[in-house]
Amino acid sequence: MDSEALRKYSALHPKPAGLTLQYGTAGFRTRAEQLDHIVFRMGLLAVLRSKAVAATIGIMVTASHNPEEDNGVKLVDPLGEMLHPSWEEYATQLANAEEQELEKVITEICQKAAVNLHKDASVFIGRDTRPSSKKLSQSVIDGIQVLGGQYHDYGLVTTPQLHYMVCCQNTQGQYGKATLEGYYEKLSKAFMELIKQSHCSGESQRHLKIDCANGIGALKLSEMKPYFPREVLIHIYNDGTKEKLNHLCGADFVKVHQKPPGGLDMKPNERCCSFDGDADRIVYYYKDTAGHFHLIDGDKIATLISIFLKELLAKVKQDFKMAVVQTAYANGNSTRYLQETLKVPVHCVKTGVKHLHHKAQEFDVGVYFEANGHGTVLFSKAAETKIRQLVKEEKDDEKREAAKMLGNMIDLINQTVGDAVSDMLVIEAILALKGLTVQQWDALYADLPNRLLKVQVADRRVIDTTDAERRALTPPGLQEKIDALVKKYKLSRAFVRPSGTEDVVRIYAEADTQENADALAHEVSLAVFHLAGGKGAPPQP
């Protein structure tokens, strides 16, 4: 390690006094002006990680659905997955080290993680469209170069595209070509093959309005347009030329406010969808003839995909294990529909994409989506091999056609991470193949009315949960109080969990009517306020 170069470059990216940040599910996120030292140091860490696993590592500069003034950085592991939890710890240590301790911390990480500094290192870099992203990705490069790493800067890409590139590179091209053209070609080819198998070609069906959150999704969708078949008519709104990133638009805005984004003019029964700022989440929605807004969130997306895959799996007659993975935030009626009507096993895990992804890997076909619209489908190696074999060798026409569809689904889905572009194409293909309108999809089940609230507390750590965050262990008496409140309402449930980032406790309640869901959420928030050290005035209804 060149101590002189490390000192010199570290001084160019100084750490503000007293600033400490934690590497979480989304990496580091904060105001852009506080990030320079962090991204420089994540450049260092990416080199160490690359040397440790002898593979290419990704580093993405983005703050996803946060306001434009924020930014963030996260690392991507060799198969396109999120950074290994043990290295999240190292990321936090390195980010918060004082300047004079930087070399010592690097040496400690090398010892703990058995990093050989003489090995080669390779890093892929991507960034979103925020004004601060270009300068920050330059700081990442400084960090990589100080430790002698090689890098390839992809410039402006969606987060899922960077995950895809890293996976392609480390599977020696088995997953695909590690270029944007490779990504567009793989997805569009699989999509066209699927659409070819559809019997209805209702022209009006294929119009889709897309709110791109004034972010990177708009740029990349425009690049991809020439690859689409003529039947697909996508109309891009909030393309970033006029308004600010994520301002009154994007998947997060639509989901949280339960209303359409600005900048998109909706006519009754038109199919519309929104990406988030870095295009790794998607939600659909429409207005009915009476002008009512209908949101189709991650739970309903998971349900549509599950119906389709279950039908195909039944046709190929293989003993594949399929399951859906959700979090406690999934609407109770979606869980009920999947388990009771579709007869698909459902597993509930802690909030956070890494928990969902990890659980989904246990099945031949694992579908996971968060209600916010982030999700994908994972296929086991064994299932994929068997499906590809059936496409080549199966004599029975129906079985072979079903296997062919599954093969195209495998190619169309970005299995590394939730991907708004890929998920959108999956949904569009399924709606076309099944001849479904957006209203028919929405009508699969009715969401139970629900309410999300948050309560400020002095210390969020007083709340400890169990059973995938559905029950509170501490403070004493809180869970008993919630149980008693839930008993007052029909079809109701409620849970509380500490925020991962700030001193607030998040509350979720659902019940048979909106009035009851609101009342239950309020009563639970009062219980949290009194039993878990609420700050300020008690919550008002």
Give the residue carrying structure tokens 């399929």: 322
Strand order in the sheet with 272-275: 233-237, 207-211, 272-275, 282-287, 293-296
**Residue 324, beta-bridge partner list:** 346, 367
Residue 335, in any domain of the structure: yes
**Which residues have a catalytic role annotated?**
64
Q: What distance in Å separates the CA atoms of residue 340 and residue 345, rounded to the nearest whole number?
A: 9
Sign for the CA dihedral angle at 79, 159, 500, 92 comes to: positive
Residue 168, in any domain of the structure: no
Helix, strand or coil for residue 334? Answer: helix
Where does 394-532 have alpha helices with state H? 397-412, 420-434, 438-442, 478-486, 514-531
Q: What is the pLDDT of residue 200?
A: 57
Is pTM beyond 0.85? Reply is yes
CATH number of the domain where residue 510 is located:
3.30.310.50
Both 409 and 510 in one domain: the answer is no
Q: What distance in Å separates the CA atoms of residue 75 and residue 86, rounded to the nearest whole number?
A: 13
Binding residues for Mg(2+), as ranges, are 64, 276, 278, 280
Q: What is the pLDDT of residue 25?
A: 80
Give the residue carrying structure tokens 């004079």: 100
Query: pLDDT at residue 206 above 80?
Result: no
Q: What is the pLDDT of residue 445?
A: 96
**What band does 204 get if pLDDT is binned at 50, 70 and 90?**
very low
- The percent of residues above 70 in pLDDT, for the chain, comes to 99
Per-residue pLDDT tens for 278-328?
999 999 999 999 999 999 999 999 999 999 999 999 999 999 999 999 999
pLDDT, average across residues 369-387: 96
Q: What distance in Å separates the CA atoms of residue 149 and residue 74, rounded to the nearest whole number?
A: 18
Binding residues for substrate, as ranges, are 370-372, 497-501, 506
End residue of a domain, out of 422, 447, 472: 447
Both 26 and 113 in one domain: the answer is yes
End residue of a domain, out of 385, 417, 447: 447
Both 389 and 462 in one domain: the answer is no
Both 423 and 456 in one domain: the answer is no
Label residues 441-464 b or e (16+ Cβ within 10 Å = b): bbebbebbbbbebebbbeebebbe
Q: What distance in Å separates the CA atoms of residue 40 and residue 483, rounded to the nearest whole number?
A: 48
Q: What distance in Å separates the CA atoms of residue 207 and residue 368, rounded to the nearest whole number?
A: 27
Both 29 and 117 in one domain: the answer is yes
Helix, strand or coil for residue 76? Answer: strand
Sign for the CA dihedral angle at 505, 508, 509, 515 comes to: positive
Structure tokens at 106: 């690097």
Q: What is the pLDDT of residue 277?
A: 94
Residue 538, in any domain of the structure: no
Both 458 and 435 in one domain: the answer is no
Residue 463, in any domain of the structure: yes
**DSSP-based helix, strand, coil % in the chain, nearest 5:** 45, 20, 35
CATH number of the domain where residue 138 is located:
3.40.120.10
Label residues 82-92 b or e (16+ Cβ within 10 Å = b): bbbeebbebbb
Residue 312, in any domain of the structure: yes
Per-residue pLDDT tens for 345-370?
999 999 988 899 999 999 999 999 99
Helix, strand or coil for residue 528? Answer: helix
Bridge-based pairing state of the strands 293-296 and 282-287: antiparallel
Both 23 and 68 in one domain: the answer is yes
Residue 539, in any domain of the structure: no
Dihedral (Cα; 249, 252, 254, 256), 10-degree rounding = -130
Structural element, H or E, at residue 275: strand 272-275
Both 404 and 464 in one domain: the answer is no
pLDDT, average across residues 55-78: 96
In contact, 481 and 527? CB cutoff 8 Å:
yes
End residue of a domain, out of 123, 156, 189: 156
Structural element, H or E, at residue 299: helix 298-316
Residue 165, in any domain of the structure: no
Q: What is the pLDDT of residue 502?
A: 76
Per-residue pLDDT tens for 82-138?
999 999 999 999 999 999 999 999 999 999 999 999 999 999 999 999 999 999 999
Number of domains within the chain = 3
Query: pLDDT at residue 203 above 70?
Result: no
Residue 97's contacts (CB-CB under 8 Å, 6 or more residues apart) are 15, 41, 104, 105
What average pLDDT is seen over the chain? 95
Both 420 and 463 in one domain: the answer is no
Per-residue pLDDT tens for 449-495?
999 999 999 998 999 999 999 999 999 999 999 999 999 999 999 99
Both 494 and 433 in one domain: the answer is no
Per-residue pLDDT tens for 381-436?
999 999 999 999 999 999 999 999 999 999 999 999 999 999 999 999 999 999 99
Q: What is the pLDDT of residue 371?
A: 92
Give the residue carrying structure tokens 């293989």: 318
Bridge-based pairing state of the strands 322-327 and 365-369: parallel
pLDDT, average across residues 197-222: 82
Exposed, middle or buried, 204 (CB in 10 Å: 0-12/13-18/19+)? Answer: exposed
Exposed, middle or buried, 242 (CB in 10 Å: 0-12/13-18/19+)? Answer: exposed
Per-residue pLDDT tens for 148-167?
999 999 999 999 999 999 99
Residue 500, in any domain of the structure: yes
Both 72 and 51 in one domain: the answer is yes
Both 286 and 397 in one domain: the answer is yes
Domain region containing 53? 3-156
Q: What distance in Å separates the CA atoms of residue 131 and residue 51, rounded to the nearest whole number?
A: 31
DSSP secondary structure string, 453-479?
EEEEBS-GGG-EEETTTTEEEESTTHH
